Amino acid sequence: MINKKAGISSHQVSEDTYFVIKKAVEYSKLSEGTFDPTIRPIVSLWRIGSDNPKIPNKNEIANNLKLVNYEDIILSGKDNSIGLRHEKQAIDIGGIAKGYAADEVKRIFENYKIKSALIDLGGNIFALGKKPDKTLWNVGIQDPFNNRGEHVGLISVENKSVVTSGNYERYFMKDGKVYHHIIDPKTGYPSESEIISATIISDYSIDGDGLSTGVYILGLEKSIELIQSLEGIDAIFITQNKEIFITSGIKDKFKITNDEFTYKNNLLK
């Protein structure tokens, strides 16, 4: 309904929907617009993940890029209403909704006094408490160059969300070139930053979701700087040339298990 009424009027939504979209806007600001929930007009051109993906022409991308701007989301907390400034604009919360869902599952578990659980929503993991044997959960970080289930390392956690964005999840190939689903809102094309996998470790999965896409696109130096500035949030970045960078809060909790990858932390201040 928000998308249908774009450029015409706002629409009153549930508290849940308002919370998720407000969070999406917060993370758009933090990531300098590299995460942008108004990306839908561009995403719909590419159709990555569908049976018939396509490479849009330059004019289509240029026209639809004009519709992408998270600052055009109008939030009114008085009555939980949300609007879009211009016609044809559209919100897509696919980049953050799964994190919200993981947090809701965790909340339900806690309400039922469940103290040990692993919540797995595919790319979004929440480790609640410790394992039944009182040891930490070990979450594998997917090797972006290999089959699903092959990992580059393990992160040991309790009461933490582990969210990964990678170019290996959804993509198609055309003329030998890979086109993946993480679209840069500035260009309208799949991101070409040196990062090919970004994992966020945080207390809330919605934060991990909101940040993982943005930092993937933002690039290594800016991303490390951003994550280091946020309390209680850490990250693991894997680059094209098989280098792994981690933020300071998890240096004793992450272990590389694949010797094809090199541990680098020369960007940490």
Looking at residues 257-266, what average pLDDT do you find? 87
- List, for residues 226-236, the tens digit of each pLDDT value: 999 999 999 99
> For the chain, first and last CA: distance in Å?
46
Pairing of strands 81-84, 73-76: antiparallel
- Map out the domains of the chain as residue ranges: 11-84, 97-263
Residue 148, pLDDT > 80, answer no
**What pLDDT is stored for residue 152 in this prediction?**
95
- List, for residues 22-48, the tens digit of each pLDDT value: 999 999 999 999 999 999 999 999 887
- List, for residues 86-102, the tens digit of each pLDDT value: 999 999 998 899 999 99
Q: What single-letter amino acid sits at 15?
A: E
What SS3 class is residue 127?
Answer: strand
Looking at residues 173-193, what average pLDDT do you find? 81
Closest listed residue to residue 145, CA positions, set 176, 190, 178: 178
**What pLDDT is stored for residue 193 in this prediction?**
84
Please state, for a pLDDT cut of 70, what percent of the chain lies above it. 96
The rounded distance, in Å, linking the Cα atoms of 192 and 83 is 31
What SS3 class is residue 152?
Answer: strand
Cα-trace Rg, the chain: 19
| Most confident residue range from 119-123, 173-177, 198-202 | 198-202
Tokens of 153: 């390392």
- List, for residues 205-261, the tens digit of each pLDDT value: 999 999 998 998 898 999 999 999 999 999 999 999 999 999 989 988 999 999 999
- Find the DSSP H helices in the chain: 15-30, 40-46, 58-65, 97-111, 205-218, 220-229
Q: Which CATH architecture has domain 97-263?
A: Roll (3.10)
169, HSE (Cβ side, Cα atoms, 13 Å): 15
The rounded distance, in Å, linking the Cα atoms of 95 and 98 is 7
Q: Is the pTM of this model over 0.85?
A: yes
Angle at 49 between CA 94 and CA 20, to 5 degrees: 0
**What pLDDT is stored for residue 173 in this prediction?**
72
Tokens of 98: 């799964």
> Which class is 11-84 in CATH?
mainly alpha
- List, for residues 56-76, the tens digit of each pLDDT value: 899 999 999 999 999 999 999
Residue 243 belongs to what H/E stretch? strand 243-246
Farthest-apart Cα atoms in the chain, separation: 58
Residue 3, pLDDT > 60, answer yes
Q: How far is CA 79 from CA 3, 15, 65, 100, 214, in A?
A: 18, 9, 30, 21, 29
Asked if 201 and 250 touch (Cβ cutoff 8 Å), the reply is yes
Mean of per-residue pLDDT scores for the chain = 91
User: Helices 97-111 and 205-218 meet at what angle, rounded to 10?
Assistant: 160
Residue with structure tokens 């044809």? 88
Higher-confidence residue of 166 and 124: namely: 124
**What pLDDT is stored for residue 168 in this prediction?**
64
